[in-house]
Structure 1
């Protein structure tokens, strides 16, 4: 009797297992991942109820005590232990405490490349309770001045290699902003932080300086090219930093991992997921000043790298490298990032071995994220019933012609069907707040949609079109409207148009992104109308964009039109132009290609077009 009962139970379990695999193949993957996320939330709540707010800085200080001699940063062959970084950041805090009037809550802007002192200054200022604003090192001139003024800092700290960039705007900076340089010899009007650090004490400052009363308090400003205009300073709370720091752990990284970061630290991926992620784990980070495809695997082998961060372009560059023996001989087991195309994903794994690619989705200022914990090729993440209990989001119908969400006769938005592209919007509430941007509230308001499905509801507009398939995997489809992505950076089309529009022979400029085979994102293209009786000066257009814009924002193509179509809401029509692309056989308007050797734009012939398509000309 007992044996038959056991046999029946076994048969039933086998049957249930078969049904689960057939109907719910990702049940256990989802279950264990969700359990991990819930456990993290419980851990945070326990600390909170004990009257302690466990920030990333607090985690770092604990590691500095528990494992002082463990390497934290490795840069250009030099190792910096947790104790080294703790003491160096103490010196930064002591300098500003003694030689400035900085107070808790004051903003300090940081313009530095990927180097250990970026972390030292960041952590040192955090120990004083300052809000640190990360400035994009590619931004120059008026755009840089705008960024500095937007976050209203009391001080600006500049890396040695960027002092020349700041010198261009030094006279225009607000008088109450003190400028500090990480160099012994600095321009007039700049204070040498490097000299003062050499004599500063490495004793810790009082913890009262950095004590946090709420996880919703501002920790950082990270600049992002939003949907319109110049870069905006996204408000990053202590809570967002904590959530970002949990990414590596959620994907399975441990304290024993060595994590290779080549992404810029002024972005949330490098700073929050990367540096803060290493702190959360107590792991070691290999920090590279700039990504190098030719040195990548040599560095991985040299430093015993087990995890690296990527954007899709990075993996594509690695796949373009000449093949060599032993390419699968490395210790890398995980790669964490976003923007990886399916074809590059497959090619990368085939060439470099069994590396788990951990794709995720998340905007710097957003209140929604997805993580592809199953490794499904091409997907940015998964959703299910349980996920939507924690993160309320929807994919809504979008009007591409008028460049706005569709609304029905009752003025409500509509959800798309599975398999159809829709605009990703995320519900804003107490559980998932949107902290917005520094400065005018209109910047924050422009990223929100009101009365979406019912009166009074508020949603964060990601500006991204996504597709959800029938297995509940999510896929990135495109960006909308006035933003496109190129070289791993967001490009605000209005900023580019404003720069070109200052030329005296330009009447109107319409900037958009066009797809180029073999490239991630979209290349910039500017459609231009000339003023009456004015001629086009291609050298001046080239000079204007390269001196005023980051290299990734410079339009690769120009199109000269006689008139421009507008949408029903009088916006410049982009959709049709994007569809037409840059093929000279299909477009009768004059087309031009950016030529860095000739320092000008040159006529885009059919021969040049074919060379671009074949990858013989690099954009």
Structure 2
């Protein structure tokens, strides 16, 4: 008969199998996240201390955390107490020098830096609301983003001040632009650190705006998503419990702080936990692991990309957190860099819910969500749905007799929906600031019964029989490149402004050894053949008017008749996407790619170099 040790080993092995098979750990995580978010939110709401400034203040004034490093950036270190004092100075300076009052919206157009965080928290310290502007924007998209924020003051990083052209300034006569030069920063830091009284930061409820974060959506210009205090607490609880972050941890991120992932799952996560935050100015394969090692980071953040450099495993990282890690590189990433655990999450800035996958094994590799029996019964039945999609209309399919939608079967793909309260959708979805039309477009009514309300994710997902949720595609024309959503409608509009362009069909193409999809445009020119001067002019046009990540990297020059339309009068993209930029598949069309500031011919030998990994775009 087996001995006690053998029985114990068998029992542990059986428990481990059952836990993995039925995702019991995920259910426990689901309960921990829900409980933590609810507890902290209710406590803060009752005390009228929803503002995250109070979390910073608590750490700064507590003897166990006051001297602990909060922020590491480019060789500089700031403790919680030092950060608190600087934040008070910035807040007092904004109030005295620029007249910023509680509830005012102030635009922050910055690359990642210590000053970004000080300005952000300084605005919260005086009860104001930051609107985070994507620092890559220029021209009309920048003007639009500033205008719809309603901000009368814009704080600008000197590194991106060149985008403040005379045209942008003249289009926004009511906005004061303050470039935060070293002299201006010195003036702010000389200000006495004044702590405003609590009523300045008073909030009537958790649905009040904490900040504005812009999202591209599926079409058009950036939209300001209203991020409530409740959403900040919920996202932070997910990150804190999902990563198991402890006060001794160092979380490193070089993802842009103007995005919700770095802002809430990075900065706010660290603040709530009392840990240390290390930030990089921007993502670079040359500096990523160097920064990770120098900061002694134990947790790193990623967004749908991994580094391509040949680094060893000499680091302290135990967990990587982020969204969009491709299934085909998931395990290679873990093995190459010796990272045991991946915390992949699925969420949208304006979304009404989230999913996550705390993965330590091959079973859940590549999934964006993992649900046990309990959480699946709730989220997979009552709170979420994957419904059949009409790909022609890009809307959920409806039964001709009942007018209702239909859930897909397990393993089938469809649009992911999240349940909203029928009578008060704002409880779960606050929408876009000042844009009721865009907000209403994200709400679907009469889905499974008359009067019900659901949030449209715009994403095509699928469940499997193990309770794993996988990403399949995005509805519409948006593609992702360099961690950014690119709207093909916006890019096509910019291209159409060039006098030599007759028509343009923009889409994303997959490239060997690259994440996401690179921008490509099937383009018809007014002239029969593009000369070098025309190509240089077009390249200059797109680089001046579009963010770098949105400028098309490839041109496919076609005849006008080759730009086919769909039945709904949309330019056909499917065949073009399938053919990609392989010269052997483009049916004799001329291909060009963006190199050294202009478009030059893209040849078969160039394609071979891409296939062999000899070119990095």
Does TM-score exceed 0.5, indicating one fold? yes
Distance in 2, matches of 1:299 and 1:49, equals: 38
Q: Which moves more between the two structures, 50-59 or 457-466?
A: 50-59
Q: Determine if the alignment matches structure 1 residue 521 to structure 2 residue 507.
A: no
Cα distance, 1:443 vs structure 2:
1.8
Cα 1:65–1:22 shift into 2, 3 Å: closer
Q: Which moves more between the two structures, 364-373 or 297-306?
A: 297-306
Residue in structure 2 matched with residue 540 of structure 1 by the alignment:
537
Cα distance, 1:524 vs structure 2:
1.2
- The count of residues paired between Structure 1 and Structure 2 equals 596
Cα distance, 1:523 vs structure 2:
1.2
> 1:141-540 residue pairs with structure 2 within 5 A?
141-169=139-167, 171-184=169-182, 193-251=184-242, 252-313=244-305, 315=306, 317=307, 320-323=308-311, 327-375=312-360, 376-384=364-372, 386-387=374-375, 389=378, 392-410=383-401, 411-429=403-421, 433-531=428-526, 537-540=534-537
Q: Determine if the alignment matches structure 1 residue 553 to structure 2 residue 550.
A: yes
Cα distance, 1:607 vs structure 2:
2.5
Residue in structure 2 matched with residue 590 of structure 1 by the alignment:
589
For the residue of structure 2 that corresponds to 1:145, the secondary structure is helix
Distance in 1, matches of 2:61 and 2:159, equals: 33
Residue in structure 1 matched with residue 567 of structure 2 by the alignment:
568
Distance in 2, matches of 1:380 and 1:301, equals: 28
Residue in structure 1 matched with residue 128 of structure 2 by the alignment:
130
Cα 1:16–1:71 shift into 2, 3 Å: closer
Cα distance, 1:46 vs structure 2:
4.7
Distance in 1, matches of 2:473 and 2:85, equals: 45
For the residue of structure 1 that corresponds to 2:286, the secondary structure is coil
Please tell me whether the aligned partners of residues 507 and 529 of structure 1 are also in contact (alpha carbons under 8 angstroms): yes
Cα distance, 1:514 vs structure 2:
1.6
Residue in structure 2 matched with residue 190 of structure 1 by the alignment:
none
Cα distance, 1:221 vs structure 2:
0.8
Cα 1:177–1:577 shift into 2, 3 Å: same
For the residue of structure 2 that corresponds to 1:348, the secondary structure is helix
Runs of 5+ in structure 2 lacking a partner?
none
Q: Which moves more between the two structures, 533-542 or 274-283?
A: 533-542
Residue in structure 1 matched with residue 113 of structure 2 by the alignment:
115
TM-score (normalised: structure 2): 0.90
Please tell me whether the aligned partners of residues 55 and 242 of structure 1 are also in contact (alpha carbons under 8 angstroms): no
Cα distance, 1:367 vs structure 2:
1.1
Q: Determine if the alignment matches structure 1 residue 82 to structure 2 residue 89.
A: no
Please tell me whether the aligned partners of residues 132 and 221 of structure 1 are also in contact (alpha carbons under 8 angstroms): yes
Please tell me whether the aligned partners of residues 304 and 516 of structure 2 are also in contact (alpha carbons under 8 angstroms): no
Distance in 1, matches of 2:454 and 2:259, equals: 24
Please tell me whether the aligned partners of residues 37 and 233 of structure 2 are also in contact (alpha carbons under 8 angstroms): no
Residue in structure 2 matched with residue 189 of structure 1 by the alignment:
none
Residue in structure 2 matched with residue 188 of structure 1 by the alignment:
none
Q: Which of 41, 45, 61 is matched with 2:57 structurally? A: 61
Cα distance, 1:181 vs structure 2:
2.0
Cα 1:557–1:405 shift into 2, 3 Å: farther
Q: Which moves more between the two structures, 18-27 or 231-240?
A: 18-27
Cα distance, 1:554 vs structure 2:
1.1
TM-score (normalised: structure 1): 0.90
Cα distance, 1:515 vs structure 2:
1.8
Residue in structure 2 matched with residue 96 of structure 1 by the alignment:
94
Distance in 1, matches of 2:566 and 2:80, equals: 56
Distance in 2, matches of 1:20 and 1:90, equals: 50
Please tell me whether the aligned partners of residues 24 and 373 of structure 2 are also in contact (alpha carbons under 8 angstroms): no
Please tell me whether the aligned partners of residues 44 and 54 of structure 1 are also in contact (alpha carbons under 8 angstroms): no
Cα distance, 1:542 vs structure 2:
1.1
Please tell me whether the aligned partners of residues 106 and 130 of structure 2 are also in contact (alpha carbons under 8 angstroms): yes
Please tell me whether the aligned partners of residues 71 and 77 of structure 2 are also in contact (alpha carbons under 8 angstroms): yes
Distance in 2, matches of 1:196 and 1:129, equals: 21
For the residue of structure 2 that corresponds to 1:335, the secondary structure is strand
Cα distance, 1:468 vs structure 2:
1.2
Please tell me whether the aligned partners of residues 106 and 154 of structure 2 are also in contact (alpha carbons under 8 angstroms): yes
Q: Which moves more between the two structures, 284-293 or 384-393?
A: 384-393
Please tell me whether the aligned partners of residues 215 and 349 of structure 2 are also in contact (alpha carbons under 8 angstroms): yes
Cα 1:551–1:511 shift into 2, 3 Å: same
Residue in structure 1 matched with residue 576 of structure 2 by the alignment:
577
Distance in 1, matches of 2:57 and 2:221, equals: 37
Cα 1:23–1:63 shift into 2, 3 Å: closer
Distance in 2, matches of 1:248 and 1:142, equals: 35
Cα 1:530–1:164 shift into 2, 3 Å: closer
Q: Which moves more between the two structures, 385-394 or 338-347?
A: 385-394
Runs of 5+ in structure 1 lacking a partner?
1-6, 186-192
Distance in 2, matches of 1:549 and 1:45, equals: 40
